[in-house]
């Protein structure tokens, strides 16, 4: 099982990152921000199975932090101020209650920055070693739940820097050389989002695996295909399930594209204008696994396109999962009866003892709303901001943290549901005669201009409606009464089984086409089914 935490010797771009938060020492007014979540990452290229799902999101703290309230101290930026901020301002402006989720990435960035400063002769190598050792100790304290998060230190950056100063003294004061919290937070956030993308992709693959496994279990099963929620044509159930797999593949592709665009390093852009000191931004970029430094320092500190793109990709994933949820909720109803969820993914009623509800997928459908809302929040937040950094951007973290946590939960429970449903073949088979699903295949059989064949088959369907029968139950004489074009060969095209056999176009629901699609996904997902 992958380690839940970066070891100090790991590569900065290692995919086994945990993204986590821990409870701070906060006033009750900020209690609503104290929800804790963490998730670790499994490489999206490795094979996964039902027995080895991607890691779950944890919503509880392993340890409570030190709750002793230390005396207030002067702000690190307070040299030109004669008095401190009021308690109300401090409570309102703090962000440590949520941005401590970035602690690991903040420490990663500081390690890279300190190493670069030493190489460039801006600090001594002994100072660099002291800084790195101090950062290692702070990281261990945080992971053990022993670190005191202080609201008077405002955010994750100032908490770690001040703690480092307490720990090693003067060398810590040199760490912020050629760096601002503006480029620092943008760097931290990009690193966090990069790891979040890798985690989401791994969960997408797990759901794809679950759907392909479900398809393999239901070879040859025909279900009604719908348009406008009205019966349209017969399709293989495998074809139906693989349509979801295709949607999820596009979802993963959007995240991969987003990762490529976000993977540029803001560090060294400083507040907005860069610096006159001889820093090496390419060195820090390489150390953190970025493609290159961002070209424009003003863009580097003010850009949140990468966040909007991640939230947009998440919103599309949520939309797809909501559609799956809606369909499974419908298909589990008594009116459809096409699927039966196991007890392990169902809930009951507090008043009606007979009820068995597919609640997880109803919640998947419902939670899509908050993912959409998080995207809108960031769009509205950014729409009126002038260059460069503005404090408004402090509000970009919580919607992203919530979106990522929610989408991982939705993917996880959807995969769990897929592993625990049974398609009711007999009920589905009994439902197939309704709706004249073979009508379009009959129109293709006629081999005449389609609008003409459409009219002929429409009249045949009308006769079936009048007689309350199926197309294949019409006699040849009855068909001749509609049009003499029919011959004995017509019966090879009637019935859902015959219809399925006639589909042959690439990507269609024909048996050979679907078998090829299934083989493709088994190979692509590296499954042993």
Residues marked as catalytic: 228, 349
Token pair 């009711």 is found at 424
Q: Is 337 left (phi over 0), alpha (psi -120 to 50) or beta?
A: left
User: In the chain, what's the furthest Cα-to-Cα distance?
Assistant: 102
Structure tokens at 212: 């392909």
Alpha-carbon span 454 to 460, nearest angstrom: 10
Alpha-carbon span 223 to 233, nearest angstrom: 9
CA atoms lying within 13 Å on the CB side of residue 233 = 20
In 324-414, where do the E strands start and end?
Answer: 339-341
Q: Are 204 and 248 in contact (CB under 8 A)?
A: yes
| Per-residue CA distances from 376 to 118, 119, 370, 400 (Å) | 43, 43, 10, 11
User: What is the signed CA dihedral for 61, 404, 358, 521, rounded to 10 degrees?
Assistant: -120
CB burial class (10 A; 0-12, 13-18, 19+) of residue 334? exposed
Helix or strand run (H / E) with residue 213: helix 181-216
CA 413 distance to own-chain centroid = 13
Task: Work out whether strand 292-293 and strand 222-227 pair parallel, antiparallel, or are unpaired.
Answer: unpaired
């Amino acid at each position: 099982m992958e380690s839940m935490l970066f070891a100090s010797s790991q590569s900065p771009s290692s995919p086994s990152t945990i993204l986590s938060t821990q409870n701070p020492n906060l006033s009750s007014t900020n209690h609503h921000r104290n929800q804790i979540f963490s998730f670790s990452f499994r490489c999206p290229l490795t094979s996964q199975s039902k027995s080895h799902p991607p890691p779950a999101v944890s919503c509880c703290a392993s340890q409570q932090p030190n709750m002793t309230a230390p005396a207030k101290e002067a702000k690190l930026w307070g040299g030109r101020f004669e008095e401190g901020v009021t308690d109300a301002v401090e409570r309102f402006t703090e962000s440590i209650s949520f941005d401590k989720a970035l602690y690991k990435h903040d420490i990663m960035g500081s390690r890279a920055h300190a190493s670069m400063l030493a190489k460039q002769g801006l600090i001594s190598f002994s100072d660099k070693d002291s800084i790195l050792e101090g950062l290692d100790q702070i990281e261990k304290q945080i992971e053990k739940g022993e670190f005191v998060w202080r609201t008077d230190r405002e955010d994750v950056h100032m908490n770690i820097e001040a703690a480092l100063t307490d720990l090693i003294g003067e060398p810590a004061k040199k760490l912020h050389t050629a760096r601002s919290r503006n480029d620092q937070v943008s760097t931290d956030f990009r690193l966090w989002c990069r790891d979040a993308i890798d985690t989401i992709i791994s969960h997408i693959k797990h759901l794809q695996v679950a759907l392909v496994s479900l398809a393999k279990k239901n070879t040859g099963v025909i279900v009604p295909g719908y348009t406008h929620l009205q019966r349209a044509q017969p399709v293989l159930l495998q074809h139906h399930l693989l349509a979801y797999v295709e949607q999820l593949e596009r979802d993963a592709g959007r995240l991969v594209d987003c990762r490529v665009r976000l993977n540029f390093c803001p560090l060294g852009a400083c507040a907005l204008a860069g610096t006159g000191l001889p820093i090496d931004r390419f060195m820090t970029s390489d150390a953190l696994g970025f493609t290159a430094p961002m070209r424009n320092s003003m863009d580097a500190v003010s850009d949140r396109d990468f966040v909007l793109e991640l939230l947009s990709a998440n919103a599309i994933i949520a939309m797809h999962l909501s559609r799956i949820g809606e369909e499974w909720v419908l298909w589990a109803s008594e009116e459809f009866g096409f699927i039966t969820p196991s007890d392990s993914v169902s809930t009951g009623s507090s008043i009606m003892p007979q009820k068995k509800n597919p609640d997880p997928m109803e919640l998947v459908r419902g939670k899509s709303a908050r993912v959409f809302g998080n995207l809108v929040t960031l769009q509205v937040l950014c729409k009126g901001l002038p260059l460069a950094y503005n404090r408004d951007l402090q509000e970009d973290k919580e919607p992203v943290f919530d979106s990522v946590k929610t989408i991982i939960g939705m993917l996880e429970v959807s995969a769990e549901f897929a592993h625990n449903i049974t398609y009711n073949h007999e009920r589905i088979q009994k439902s197939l005669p309704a709706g004249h699903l073979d009508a379009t295949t009959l129109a293709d059989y006629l081999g005449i201009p389609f609008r003409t064949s459409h009219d002929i088959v429409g009249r045949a369907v009308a006769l079936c409606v009048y007689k309350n029968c199926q197309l294949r139950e019409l006699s040849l004489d009855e068909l001749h009464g509609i049009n003499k074009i029919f011959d004995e060969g017509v019966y090879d095209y009637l019935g859902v089984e015959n219809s399925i056999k006639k589909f042959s176009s690439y990507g269609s629901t024909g048996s050979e086409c679907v078998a090829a699609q299934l083989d493709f996904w088994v190979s692509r997902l590296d499954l042993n089914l």
